[in-house]
Structure 1
């Protein structure tokens, strides 16, 4: 009987030691600088621990702690790299562009756990949700992008659009994940035949652009030449107009001066105009000044007298006659 009691005492003591050891072991925990922790009380989330160091809690099974990493994770979509070897998954990366061409696109998504409680309890498999959301986002953006942009200069824009769409999906799913960056690794055509055909199309397009640029250059050159000729014609016309205006002003001034002389001596001016008109209309006619008073007719030959005059006087007479002819024409124009 004593032996049984003693045995029970020993068993109870061992059990008590075990309980105390379990309490001592499960009442404290440490969090590294690269970790974050979540405390649960009977399965209910209490708080998140992000400060590194030694922390205390109620012993198990009252409270328990789950630790998660703070590091940035990388999701490799379309391929898998392990031990320096890359394995591709064409079925995963094959997608259709906005202009109905097939391309292979793979990418890397960098993400972090920013809310460990939601990451642990809001979804059964948050990594699988992230992969599916990445596939949906990339296919959506590629499906609205032309193949030229996807293969050449549009990759940066595609990355930005995928990151924006993927971040909005993570926020909507509320699984405690934040997207840090999205990087397209490669966008390529599915086979060599398609690559060759695309290269030919690209070369033809470049040739077309070259010809268009040359045509625009020639057009601009001819346009500049035509504009120069136009400006020269306009400038000449402006000069002719100014010359005509000045000439008209001179003729008006000449007419006014002739008109003033006409008002002072009408008969002399009339005879003078008649003689100048005859001289201009019949330049080779013999002009005589005649007087008939009923007796012997008298006349005065003008041309022989001009021949008798010295050369200087003849030149002066011709100049005077030319001036008078001009005055006469101005007066006739004014009378008309």
Structure 2
């Protein structure tokens, strides 16, 4: 009786256990921020990302691994604690630039699990692989860059190149991780002496660039002034050329007109030319035209043609006309 009762209790307990195992392992839920992967007899099936209640075969036939769909942050070279304190790791961040200078560079990588099966079973520690790949990518890109680019305006290009290289490495490793963002947090020189020397070099370079810009500005200004003077000279020369040409044409036309008059009336034209020449050579001289008729001499003052012509008696003549 006791043995049967003990056996019954044991059998009932096993039944309760089996029923409990079935009850608790034949269903699972997936939240909106989660994704799941189904494992059937050790074989990984397609991932499940639809939120809600799902059913499966009881363990150990099927099991489910639920992972987050959120974006994780990998902090390389530093660690930010919960209280906001930041701990640096200089040994990890010290690297050599392409022009053989030493810098300290740290960054943060945003990544997601996009293939839960590969993330769980293609590597023993995918996050460690991601950390090593991040270090290799950053060192490779910094090793191709100049220190000026790493410290100043070249950070965006460095971030882009690191993300491309890191994405390529993750595709080669095939561990179910996708790189979302890469952001340089800080790029600095290793100590105060180096920083001071670099600052001096930067200041000297800025001074040099300023002087070069001023020289170029002065050169451009003088060039513009010279071009303006050249254009003015050319314009004046063109105007003088036109004026001289028109003057020459006028003089030719005048000469032709005088020549035509000369052909028609040679004597008169010759006298007129003589008189005009006298006026031109002796502008203050008074010119008279006289005619002697034996008794009186009539003259014509050309300078003031409005006055009447006055007769002039010749000396030595008498009243009787002798």
- Give the conservation status (yes or no) of the 8 Å contact 1:261–1:269: no
1:25 matched residue in structure 2: 24
The structure whose residues are more often helix, as a share, is 1
2:171 matched residue in structure 1: 171
Task: Give the TM-score taking structure 1 as reference length.
Answer: 0.77
2:43 matched residue in structure 1: 44
Q: Distance in 1 between matches of 2:224 and 2:26?
A: 89
* Per-residue deviation, residues 274-300 of structure 1 (Å, max 9, x unmatched): 979x989x99xxxxxxxxxxxxxxxx9
CA deviation after TM superposition for structure 1 residue 127, in Å: 0.5
Task: Give the TM-score taking structure 2 as reference length.
Answer: 0.80
Q: Alignment RMSD, CA only? A: 3.1
Q: Tell me the SS of whatever aligns to 1:312.
A: coil
2:303 matched residue in structure 1: 312
> In 2 relative to 1, CA 204–8 (structure 1 residues): closer, same or farther, beyond 3 Å?
same
CA deviation after TM superposition for structure 1 residue 3, in Å: 4.5
Q: Distance in 2 between matches of 1:135 and 1:124?
A: 19
CA deviation after TM superposition for structure 1 residue 313, in Å: 5.6
More deviation, 2-11/153-162? 2-11
Q: Distance in 1 between matches of 2:233 and 2:44?
A: 90
2:74 matched residue in structure 1: 75
Number of matched pairs:
293
Q: Tell me the SS of whatever aligns to 1:202.
A: helix
Matching of residues 21-170 of structure 1 within 5 Å: 21-82=20-81, 83-170=83-170
* Per-residue deviation, residues 204-259 of structure 1 (Å, max 9, x unmatched): 11111111121122222222222222222212211211121112111221232233
> In 2 relative to 1, CA 54–270 (structure 1 residues): closer, same or farther, beyond 3 Å?
closer
* Per-residue deviation, residues 264-322 of structure 1 (Å, max 9, x unmatched): 456x489769979x989x99xxxxxxxxxxxxxxxx9xxxx99x6536269xxxxxxxx
* Per-residue deviation, residues 162-195 of structure 1 (Å, max 9, x unmatched): 2222222222322111112111110000111110
Q: Tell me the SS of whatever aligns to 2:303.
A: helix
1:222 paired to 2:222: yes
CA deviation after TM superposition for structure 1 residue 41, in Å: 0.7
1:251 matched residue in structure 2: 251
- Give the conservation status (yes or no) of the 8 Å contact 1:39–1:63: yes
